[in-house]
Structures are given as C-alpha cells and as structure tokens.
Amino acid sequence: MYTYPIKEPQGIAERHQELDALRGLAAISIVLFHFTINNNAKLLGWQFNYGVTAVDIFFMISGFVIFQSIRNITKWQDFVVKRFARLYPAFWYCMLITAFVAVLMEPHSVDATRILANATMASIYFGVEDLDGSYWTLLIELVFYTWILAIFVSNRVNAIEQIGVCCILLIVAFHAMRPLYHDLYQFLTRKVQLLNHFPLFYSGILFYQIKRSRHVYRNSALLIPAILASFYLHDKGGTSQYHISFVEHCVVITIFHIIFVLFIIGKLGFLVAKPLLMLGNISYCLYLIHQYVGLQIIAKLTGDLGINVYFAIIFTISVCICIATLITTYIEIPCYQLIRNWYSRSSSIFRQQDNDLAIH
C-alpha cells in the first residue's frame, strides 16, 4: 500500500515518481479528512468529506506496485520478507507511540492484550479494537498480499486478469445474494474486508498490465467491470458511504481511473514536485501516526488552550509530518535495509549449503 524510494539493485523494478506524488496527495487528503470531521467540523463550519476516498487510490496504487513486485521475484519467501520489512517495523513503532499517547489520555483503554493484538495488524481476529482508526486498511492489504501470493505460488501469475475478473463476479454475487446468508455475510464482510474493495486493487493490476503493453485492449475492457463493481460496493463496506453519496463516490472513482490513464500515457509528470514526493516518501508513517495522536493534539489546543482551530490543524499537520519524517528516516528505511540485507546474506548461505549438499 505505502512504499518509499529505497535503492534496489538495478533491473529489479521500475519506480514511478508519479505514483509517489499521488501517495503524497492521498496521504494529505486523508489527514485533512480526519482533521476536519466530527467536533472539528463544528468549529470550522465545513469538512473535507472527499478525503475519505483517498484510500481508494491507495488501493489502486497498491494493486499496481504489488503486482509489479510479484513479477520481479523468483521465490515466495522474497515477497514475504520484503513486505514484512516494509510494513511491520514502522508500524510497530507508530503503534507504540499511539499506545503511549492513549495511556496518557485514556489510561483505561489500553492494556497489553490490546497492544499485542494490534501488533499483528489483525486485531479484529482477536476481537480487539484498533488503537488507531486508520489501521482498518492494513488488514485489507495483508489479505490482498495473501491472495496475490497464492496466485504466485500456484504459478498462475500470467492468468491474473482472468482470475481477477472471476473474483469480481463472485464478490458481486456474494453481496447480491446476502439475504440468503445474512449472519455469514455480516461475519465475512467484517473479517475479510477485501471483499468490499477488491475491484480497486484489480484496477491497479490491470493498469500495470496495460502500461507494460500486455493485452492492452482486453485489459482496458476489463476495467469496465472493475469500475462498475467498485460503484456497486459503495455501501457494502468501507467508510465512504457515511460521508459522501453514491453518485459522488462514483464520480471520484471515475476520476481516479482517469488519473491512472493519464499516468499510463505519461501525462502526470506535472505532479512530480519535491513537496509531493516528500509526502509520498513519508505517506505510510504519516498515515499510521496522524489520526489518534493528531486528534488528541487538536483537542488539547482547541479545547484546553482555546487556540483557533485553523492554527491548531496547521500546527498538528506540521507536527505529524515531522514525526512521520523522523520515523521514516530513522526507523522505516534502516529497518527495511537491515532486514533485506540479512535476508540476502541468509539466502546466499542457504543456496551455498544446497550446492555443497549437491556436490557431496
């Protein structure tokens, strides 16, 4: 879902700065959304409702870059280690900061069980509430990784377009026939939320295939059911349904696909600017740290200190960006490099041991 520009060996995968810039825009949109709703909306007199849809373009970007990643590995272990290294160290650090703030502000709401459950990114499977409301998308990403890894392991990567469209048809049927299994439906849509967002990931995959000139016309046509399914799922899950109308969501999803078309044909270069690239670089940590911690800061500034809400929001965004930059620089990137280097050395040792066994 969220990546950053780490130098990889040449030939591993192409990096697209336009997508980094889009991540930056999406990240700041989500921050503005969370900082301008509920109590803050009363103080402001307005709210940035459309920021709720930024997760949609994050899912599309994830479909694109994760499929690109899966096409550039030779072993499933490479994918698992790389995803773990990118996601978990930074997440744990941000989660502990959030837990520390929660202990200060709401001491009875945090205990070791809640922290440990959250550390898995799958707290819902343990019946535990997320420490930060933004964490709900992380499990969706993990389930998507599992889906695409299963395709890789089964050696069906070259058939991913057909598998994806079949999944979309099954998902739409699953939602359409929900009266037949109401309890099971409620259970699965809570526990496997990819069922509510899969078409967006699939769109990202299709755009990757189109960009590499693979079955351009067929994959362009397959975008139609992906888009229509995304429309259909508006009120089946996620949070957009609570903040914007069905028509508004359809328009935004369409705009996101148009943006990807512009990216594919090389017309999105105007977004490649240092501020957006910087935000894209820290987008993962900014996403993880901003909601609970940021809202607590704003509440203190506006409530206890009586500071103007606009100043409070601007100040808090600045603080969150600084924290995210520090975590990205000193935790996320070094941990990724450390784990990657350890794995590379270990893989070399294992390969050498296999060769020795073969010789002897």
* Domain boundary assignment for the chain: 17-359
Those residues with Cβ within 8 angstroms of residue 68's Cβ, 6 or more apart along the chain or in another chain: 13, 14, 208
Query: For the purposes of burial, counting CB atoms within 10 Å of the CB of 357, is it exposed (0-12), middle (13-18) or buried (19 or more)?
Result: exposed
Those residues with Cβ within 8 angstroms of residue 60's Cβ, 6 or more apart along the chain or in another chain: 200, 201, 203, 204, 207, 256, 257, 260
Tell me if residue 50 falls in helix, strand or coil. Answer: helix
Provide the pLDDT for residue 214.
82
Instruction: Give per-residue pLDDT as tens, 274-315.
Output: 999 999 999 999 999 999 999 999 999 999 999 999 999 999
CB neighbourhood size of 223 (10 A): 18
Q: How far is residue 357's CA from residue 125's CA, in Å, rounded to a whole number?
A: 42
Is residue 30 within 8 Å of 55, Cβ to Cβ?
Answer: yes
Query: For the purposes of burial, counting CB atoms within 10 Å of the CB of 99, is it exposed (0-12), middle (13-18) or buried (19 or more)?
Result: buried
Query: Is pLDDT at 113 greater than 50 in this prediction?
Result: yes
Query: Is pLDDT at 358 greater than 90 in this prediction?
Result: no
Instruction: Give per-residue pLDDT as tens, 71-94.
Output: 999 999 999 999 999 999 999 999
Looking at residue 268, its amino acid is: L
Provide the pLDDT for residue 116.
98
pLDDT band at 350 (very low <50, low <70, confident <90, very high): very low
Q: How far is residue 145's CA from residue 117's CA, in Å, rounded to a whole number?
A: 20
pLDDT band at 347 (very low <50, low <70, confident <90, very high): confident
pLDDT band at 13 (very low <50, low <70, confident <90, very high): low
pLDDT over 90 for what percent of the chain? 89
pTM summary value:
0.92
Report the chain's C-alpha Rg in angstroms. Answer: 21
